Structure 1
Amino acid sequence: MSRRRYGLAAAAAGAVLVLAATGCTAGGSGSSSAGSGGRPVLTFFTFETPNLDAKYWDAAIARASAKVPGVKIKKLVAPSADRNGYVKQLAASGQLPDLMISVNPDGLAQSGKLTAWSAADLADYVSPNANPIGGKIYQLPYNTQPTPLVYYNKDLFAKAGITAAPATYQQFLDDCAKLKSKSIDPIIVGGGGKDTFADGYPDIAAVGTDVYRARPNWLAERRAGKRSFTDPAFVGALKKVQDLAAKGYIDKSGLSRDYAATEQAFRDGKGAMYPMGSWFAASADAKKPGFGVGVFPWPSDDGKTVVPAYTGGGMSVSSTAPDVPLAKKWAKAFMEDKANLDASVRADGSIIAIRGYTPPAGMGPVYRATDALYQDAAKRHALVNAFTVETGDTGLVPGVSDRLWAGTADLISGRTTADELAKNLDTEWAKDTK
Structure 2
Amino acid sequence: MPSWAEQAIFWHVYPLGFLGAERAAVPEVTHRLRGLVPWLDHAVALGADALQLGPVFAAETHGYDTLDHFRIDPRLGDDGDFDVLVSAAHERGLRVVLDGVFNHVGQGFPRFQQALREGPGSAAARWFRLRWPADGGPPAHDDFEGHQSLVALDHAEPAVAEHVAAVMAHWLDRGADGWRLDAAYAVPPRFWARVLPRVRGGRPGTYVVGEVIHGDYAAFVAETGVDAVTQYELWKAIWSSLNDRNAFELAWALKRHTAFAESFVPMTFVGNHDVTRIASRLTDVRHLPHALAVLMTVAGTPSLYAGDEYAMRGVKEEREGGDDAVRPAFPASPAGLPPDGLPVLELHRRLIALRRRHPWLSRAHTTDLTLSNQLYAYESRSGEHALAVALSTGDEPSQVTLPFPGRLGAGDGDLDGTLLTLPPHGWAVVEH
TM-score by length of 2: 0.27
Structure with more relative contact order (C-alpha pairs < 8 Å, separation 6 or more): 1
Q: Which has the higher strand share?
A: 2
TM-score by length of 1: 0.27
**Larger CA Rg, structure 1 vs 2:** 2
